[in-house]
């Protein structure tokens, strides 16, 4: 069985929620992940430090933290500070490349899928057993280059796991308006295993991803995992989500689901509350530190990498 235990998973999910709420309060254009923590944490917790992670844009920060990033620097990144990993540049979701985080190459969703597939090809060519997990949303799954990447990975038996973080919405469009069949059914068209998992059950996601990673490391090729989860808030922090109807009820909260299991295994309410309080304190201190930092300036934004210094060149 995979090695990441329940209390550790709970800690990461509690940190993800506390961070998500803080960043939504600080940045009105932040994309909330509340309700999707189990898919995010469970989808990447079994990666090794030498593997690669291509994270979905709904709070990739907890994955970067699991891989060794500094919380205050991530907060600085979300607040447009020069001390952030992206130096205040566009797309605050890009993580530290040195920690095996696949960078975003554009603000357009899904561009990281091809890069992640290329990373898996590199792992195969070096003859290692390194692997990659690549997450994207249900809407992004309809991109043409996503199909191309999956087909190529299947033909070449690349060591990659594709994780669809299916929250039922593509911005304001419900699932039935842009998908005519379950996403997991596409796997048979590529000739790869397809697994449907409860995306609100972090231990189930962990187990499914762990098995798919073992398969990839053994040279058996990619897998397509569809994790059905729930977006508790709007598309962005200030989105009132008026397009939802009252009968679209949320499923079991992922933190509450795991908390119930941990209590049944002998963990106390005080212990779980302590985990949540510790996470909230870490986030509050990181936000405070980041907010006090200077805004990104020309040197951080790399204007010298775009324009020549004044007085040089022929003016064209």
pLDDT score recorded for residue 302: 80
pLDDT score recorded for residue 305: 74
pLDDT score recorded for residue 105: 63
| Local structure of 244: helix, strand or coil | coil
- Average pLDDT on 3-7 reads 89
User: How confident is the model over 181-204, as pLDDT tens digits?
Assistant: 899 999 999 999 999 999 999 999
- Average pLDDT on 1-29 reads 91
pLDDT score recorded for residue 106: 64
pLDDT score recorded for residue 301: 79
pLDDT bin (cut points 50, 70, 90) of residue 247 is low
pLDDT score recorded for residue 312: 59
- Average pLDDT on 97-116 reads 84
Domains of the chain (ranges plus CATH)?
Answer: 6-301 (3.40.50.970)
Q: Does residue 91 carry a pLDDT above 60?
A: yes
pTM of the model: 0.93
pLDDT score recorded for residue 169: 87
pLDDT score recorded for residue 286: 97
- Average pLDDT on 262-277 reads 97
pLDDT bin (cut points 50, 70, 90) of residue 11 is very high
CA-based nearest residue to 155, from 117, 209, 184: 117
User: How confident is the model over 128-186, as pLDDT tens digits?
Assistant: 999 999 999 999 899 999 999 999 999 999 999 999 999 988 888 888 888 888 999 99
CA-based nearest residue to 58, from 287, 186, 234, 277: 234
pLDDT bin (cut points 50, 70, 90) of residue 76 is very high
Lowest model confidence (mean pLDDT) among 97-101, 178-182, 219-223: 178-182
Show Cβ contacts of residue 136 under 8 Å, excluding neighbours closer than 6 positions.
56, 109, 110, 112, 113, 146, 162, 163, 164, 165
CA-based nearest residue to 36, from 8, 22, 55: 55
**Distance (Å, whole) CA 182 – CA 188:** 12
Q: Does residue 1 carry a pLDDT above 50?
A: no
- Average pLDDT on 19-34 reads 92
Which residue blocks in the chain are alpha helix, DSSP H?
6-26, 37-44, 61-66, 71-78, 111-125, 144-156, 187-190, 202-217, 254-264, 269-291, 298-301
pLDDT score recorded for residue 310: 66
Buried b (16+ CB within 10 A) or exposed e, 269-303: eeebeebbeebbebbeebbeebeebeebeeebbee
pLDDT score recorded for residue 251: 79
Token pair of 152 as six digits: 């190529």
- Average pLDDT on 51-67 reads 92
Q: Average per-residue pLDDT in the chain? A: 91
């Amino acid at each position: 069985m995979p090695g990441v235990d329940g209390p550790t998973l709970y800690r990461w999910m509690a940190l993800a929620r506390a961070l998500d709420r803080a960043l939504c309060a600080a940045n009105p254009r932040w994309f909330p992940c509340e309700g999707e923590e189990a898919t995010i944490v469970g989808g990447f917790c079994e990666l090794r430090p030498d593997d690669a992670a291509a994270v979905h844009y709904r709070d990739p920060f907890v994955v970067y933290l699991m891989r060794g990033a500094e919380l205050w620097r991530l907060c600085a990144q979300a607040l447009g500070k020069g001390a952030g990993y992206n130096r205040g540049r566009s797309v605050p979701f890009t993580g530290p490349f040195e920690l095996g985080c696949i960078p975003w190459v554009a603000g357009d969703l899904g561009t990281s899928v091809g890069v992640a597939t290329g990373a898996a090809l590199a792992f195969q060519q070096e003859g290692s057993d390194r692997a990659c997990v690549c997450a994207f949303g249900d809407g992004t799954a309809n991109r043409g280059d996503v199909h191309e990447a999956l087909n190529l990975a299947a033909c070449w038996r690349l060591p990659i796991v594709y994780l669809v973080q299916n929250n039922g919405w593509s911005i304001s469009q419900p699932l039935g308006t842009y998908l005519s069949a379950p996403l997991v059914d596409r796997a048979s068209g590529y000739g790869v295993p397809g697994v449907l998992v409860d995306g609100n059950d972090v231990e189930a996601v962990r187990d499914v991803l762990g098995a798919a990673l073992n398969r990839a490391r053994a040279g058996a090729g990619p897998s397509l995992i569809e994790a059905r989860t729930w977006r508790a808030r709007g598309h962005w922090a200030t989105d009132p989500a008026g397009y939802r109807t009252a009968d679209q009820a949320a499923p079991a909260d992922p933190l509450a689901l795991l908390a119930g299991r941990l209590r049944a295994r002998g963990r106390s309410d005080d212990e779980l509350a302590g985990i949540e309080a510790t996470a909230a304190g870490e986030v509050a201190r990181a936000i405070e530190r980041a907010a006090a930092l200077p805004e990104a300036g020309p040197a951080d934004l790399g204007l010298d990498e775009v324009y020549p210094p004044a007085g040089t060149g022929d003016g064209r």
